[in-house]
A and B are shown apart, each in its own frame.
Chain A
């Protein structure tokens, strides 16, 4: 297994360099020059030139030891992303955004997994009945409603009409109160899709002989479902769960924006709106790094969950 991990870690390097190259090329060549934007509407050529110099935009793009790409690569290697367009350190922005994002996404994720997997097991157990059909119809309906509608309706109804939650994130209140509603909305909005996904997995398992055998031997439904079926359905669940974790760190774009939660999702949306490529580049790099690391983790987890899998 050690050899496998080392090999995979070595694979990471060209992948990350590739990501850096692609994002840099995209943002630099297609995105154009942002110095005019930083310098202001009526800035003179000198001020624009000064900004270009300050942000290193006057250096060659690729073919030099001091090129923009080499500097970008060096900075990424040491997680020193420099300053954003508003002159704040990008690392400070990211560090500040991680906690609010995780406060929102981790409970949302856990709640979603528990609800979706448990309900999927139950629905799979009652497959073919009116309960199963109704659940599928509700899931499809839930998947068809835009995420934004959940947010707008949830915010209006639960926060404004019923006054159960704060309308937005209030820094003067405990964070747990402010994220309650977005968590609830996040779980409800994504439950449909998740439930359908896990239901399909569970149904595949429920049709296997060992389930019939377990019931025939007189095991209780709870024991069969949660001990045997769930365990055997773990591979796709782990894939889904582990690969979702990087997204948790990135936060939730829409929820954070509508509830004014200063997380990384909001940061990313703002950066896109302002064409702050320094921030977008940093976030894309971190995200790609997390994806690569968590894909490796998922592979390692398979070996623990399923003894038939060995990592070579």
Chain B
């Protein structure tokens, strides 16, 4: 009897703790942004950051010299840590950049008194040298390879050491010098018109203080020390990241200019107000769709992607508006082009595919891209009629008229006959390398197999995990492969670069496509400054690629982004990540949502 009583008492206490807890409200009106993250963050060291998830977090804490204006379109670069746009020499080979004065790193124990010191031009010199340090093995080195005078020599020199930090960083590099505390000079080996977009706007050139690297060693990956508006408060790997305001941040005002429609969209309501707005940013790392979706619908996440399985339910049949139950909850939908292209690539070194243009063309003709999209992607991608995706400067809106992505089974069959004549016998079964072993890759593989079969082309699909795929691709062991790329800036040069023979895999040319005419023109165009003439050459280069069919270009991604009504100042920004400082949460509005949900729950609805 006594035992039963004790059990009852324990149960009552537990129930009291669990159930009778006062419903939590926003802590003192604190503004907190809560976002989902569907993959774990690999590193918080900007110099070695390449994946988008790490970049999203790093970019809130670390800054670079230049950044795209948040609201203006077409995208326009503006100074961030730089005081002004660079002074470029007449030959386009020397960039002189003034650094803003009075910028301080966040406070951190790595500094002698724990107080963040002032940023100097020498910190950028250190960042470039660190990128080049072979012992550090940055994923971003390929961006700078053979671009800056003396940097490759520094890389060679660094190879003689055992560890990253044994390398003497005081060794001068002619191409990256601090002329004084606030002036950085970069000398190029040849003109590189995209240096601002691809390098100086990239988080990989964000300054990391020498003291931090010395202090934390390898553990610098989890101790970011930057100059940005936020600093790391908590990082529970694989689970949770929390950033808080960096009190050393210099401050900035919300932009006052934008596109004409920004005013109507409320994006200029905060013009001139100091940013960052949010006190804290929370990233919840959850790889499964269901918990993310439930959290969003409960209001515990401010923004959300639409999971594939929920897409038909939450969208109207026209796929342009949200279903009424979503609108009733005052959830907003933003649809925008996410500049990217996906393709079925051909290995041009392959003896069957490489010398056989009609075969590659036949494969392209046999694929019904619209059907592929309708069946597999609920219309969340669009047909790629060429290589360059919408949203990039050199995108040709009339590309569909050229018919590169035309679906025509009869033509495909005729081309196959031509291909067999060239090959001298029936085309053997081809192999398509598919990264991923989940449902979607399998569906993609089966659908492509069926489509090609209709034209008489036999393929087998080799499903593999991504690292195996990458290894095979780089060794030229994939006959055909599914792949894609996302643009990092509005200039399509890094799309075109993938077809230059000097970038053969393990570089970006995974097709092993080699066309001397293309290479020669590419070299000419690569050093040209932006102009209508360059635009025409870009398009010419794209057509040269398309005419050779080193790939069947399939789709461009469209992003469907959801946000609660209380989440303000969200504007699609596809060429950078450090924009959360502009986002704002209407705390009262969020509170009203919770109150309404709470009342409904109490009423049992």
Binding site for B on A (CB under 8 A): 32-34, 36-37, 39-48, 50-51, 54, 83, 86-88, 93, 96, 152, 155-156, 159-160, 163, 167-169, 171, 177, 180, 257-262, 266-267, 270, 275
Contacts and interface: CB of A to CB of B under 8 A. Distances in A.
Interface stretch (B74-82, B139-147, B409-417, B445-453): B139-147
Nearest to B474: A36
Given A36-B471, A37-B470, A46-B134, A168 B284 contact: yes
Interface of B: 18, 40, 42-43, 50, 134-135, 137-142, 145, 155, 159, 218-219, 221-222, 234, 236-240, 284-288, 290-291, 294-295, 297-298, 300, 465-468, 470-471, 474, 503, 506-508, 601
B439 to A, nearest CB: 14
28 contacts: A34-B467, A36-B506, A39-B137, A41-B508, A42-B142, A42-B506, A43-B142, A44-B145, A44-B507, A45-B506, A47-B134, A47-B139, A50-B134, A51-B137, A83-B218, A88-B219, A88-B222, A88-B237, A160-B294, A160-B298, A167-B291, A167-B294, A167-B295, A180-B18, A258-B291, A260-B239, A262-B236, A262-B240
Report which residue of B43, B238, B290, B300 has the largest number of chain A beta carbons within 10 angstroms of its beta carbon: B238
Nearest to B601: A163
A86 B221 contact: yes
A33 B471 CA distance: 8
A160 B218 CA distance: 41
A183 B142 CA distance: 48
Contact of B287 (A48, A54, A87, A257): A257
Contact of A40 (B139, B155, B237): B139
Report which residue of B159, B239, B601 has the largest number of chain A beta carbons within 10 angstroms of its beta carbon: B239
B286 A42 contact: no
Contacts of B287: 257
B290 A155 contact: yes
Contacts of B218: 83, 87
Contact of B506 (A48, A50, A152, A171): A48
B44 to A, nearest CB: 10
B157 to A, nearest CB: 13
B141 A47 contact: yes
Given A42-B508, A160-B294, A168-B286, A270 B238 contact: yes
B343 to A, nearest CB: 15
Nearest to A177: B18
A45 to B, nearest CB: 6
B542 to A, nearest CB: 20
A58 to B, nearest CB: 13
A185 B73 CA distance: 50
A260 B295 CA distance: 12
A54 B138 CA distance: 13
Nearest to B485: A41
A266 to B, nearest CB: 6
Nearest to B221: A87
A32 B467 contact: yes
A267 B286 CA distance: 13
Nearest to B145: A44
A177 to B, nearest CB: 7
B496 to A, nearest CB: 15
B298 A167 contact: yes
Those 10 A-B pairs whose CB atoms lie nearest each other, nearest first: A40-B139, A262-B239, A37-B467, A50-B137, A160-B294, A42-B142, A260-B286, A171-B240, A167-B294, A168-B291
Given A36-B506, A88-B222, 15 more contacts: A36-B474, A37-B471, A42-B506, A47-B134, A50-B135, A51-B137, A54-B137, A87-B221, A88-B219, A156-B294, A160-B297, A167-B294, A168-B286, A260-B284, A275-B467
A94 to B, nearest CB: 12
A39 B142 CA distance: 11
